[in-house]
Amino acid sequence: MLALPNLLTILRIALVPVFALAFVMPGETARLIAFAVFCIAGISDALDGLAARRLNAGSDFGRMLDPIADKILVAVALMMLVAERSIHQFDLIAPAGIRGLLKLVPALIILSREILVSGLREFLAGAKVSVPVTVFAKFKTTLQMVAIGAMILTPLADKFFPGVPAVTYTAFAYAMLWVAAALTVYTGYVYFRAGLRHLHGPGTP
């Protein structure tokens, strides 16, 4: 449990309440702290995997805890953004009654996928079936973290990008979240297909 990769994973979980507290506090300094904590937590996700490979320090404890830490971080960040109404939907042609729902779609897709994949991972692990992480899954995770980080920074966008209109910056961040949600659906389908193959036998397409 005290191997470096596991310590980085535990650190990521410990940073989640720090991020949440800084996020809800008023002021630009608090928002910068929230952004910095989220970035540190996100970087630790890459570092623990790298450390596990370089130090040959992979463990069952780490394989169990790492996806949990990732999901806690992403879920809390998305919920905080939704609660703050930072997740916007721009000029979509839709009845006013469902526009509020459309604003939540990327977050709902990402959170639903995480729940689905958690269940599939548990099922496949019990069946001794391993599903390797794909390049798309890694890219999805990276884009998801960048999009969420950009949205956390939205209230300070004019400070960091003075030449970019705030609405343009926020729209770009929201568009990245939509792309991440689309990749989330694809990678979730890959896991789901692996589960079906196990249920119906190796010959299942």
Which span out of 6-10, 65-69, 115-119, 173-177 was modeled with the highest average pLDDT? 173-177
- What are 18-72's pLDDT values in tens digits? 999 999 998 889 999 999 999 998 888 777 767 766 766 666 666 677 778 888 8
User: Helices H, strands E: what count in the chain?
Assistant: 7, 0
201 Cα distance to chain centroid: 32
Output the average pLDDT for the chain. 77
Cα distance between residue 191 and residue 57, in whole Å: 26
Domain boundaries along the sequence of the chain: 1-77, 85-205
175 Cα distance to chain centroid: 15
Q: Are 12 and 19 in contact (CB under 8 A)?
A: no
Cβ atoms within 10 Å, residue 137: 19
Q: Are 140 and 183 in contact (CB under 8 A)?
A: yes
pLDDT at 60: 63
- Report, as an integer, the average pLDDT of 171-187: 86
More confident residue, 173 or 23: 23
Kindly state the tokens that stand for 38. Answer: 């989220």
Of 89-93, 126-130, 171-175, the poorest mean pLDDT is in 89-93
pLDDT at 128 over 70: no
pLDDT at 87: 58
Kindly state the tokens that stand for 30. Answer: 């608090």
Q: Are 103 and 89 in contact (CB under 8 A)?
A: yes
Cα distance between residue 58 and residue 6, in whole Å: 9
